[in-house]
Amino acid sequence: MFWDKVAVFSEMFSLLFQAPKEASNLITPNISSDENPEIEEFEKKESGSTTFRSRYKKLIKMRVTACPHINKPHYAKNMCSSCYHRAVRQTKAWICPHEDRQHYAKGMCQFCYLQNYHKSRPRKI
C-alpha cells in the first residue's frame, strides 16, 4: 500500500516537472531591415545608446486624429485631455446651485468644488 502511494507520487512529479520540449511548430517572423525602413532607422538610433532598450519597442505611435493637437499625449476617445474635457464631457453639475455649468467633481462645478475643498481643509495657524 505504501509503495502504491510512492509510485503515484513519482508519476505526478514527473508529469508536473517535465523537461521543456523543443518548440518546432512555432513560426517566427523574418523581419529584415531591407523590408522596413523604420526598423533600420531604429537600429541605427539605438546602436549608439548605452542603456538597454527593447528591440520590439513600438516604432510608430498612434496619431491623434480627433483633435488638432498632435503633439499632446492621447487622453481618451482619440483626443488630448483639453479637447476631451471641452468637447466630450457634457454632464452638468447636479449638487451645487450652478446647474448650467459643467460637472467638475463630486457633483459640483469647478468653482463650488474648490470653494468646498478649501473650506474643509484644516487651516494652519
| CA distances, 68 to each of 33, 49, 58, 65, 88 (Å) | 33, 33, 23, 7, 15
> Domain boundaries in the chain?
61-89, 91-125
Please give the pLDDT value at position 114: 93
Q: What pLDDT, in 10s, does the model give residues 83-104?
A: 887 777 788 999 999 989 988 8
Q: What pLDDT, in 10s, does the model give residues 37-86?
A: 666 666 666 555 444 455 555 545 555 467 888 888 877 888 888 888 77
Which residues 6+ apart lie within 8 Å of 64 measured at CB? 70, 72, 74, 78, 79, 80
pLDDT over 90 (residue 111):
yes
Q: Which residues pair with 108 in a beta bridge?
A: 105
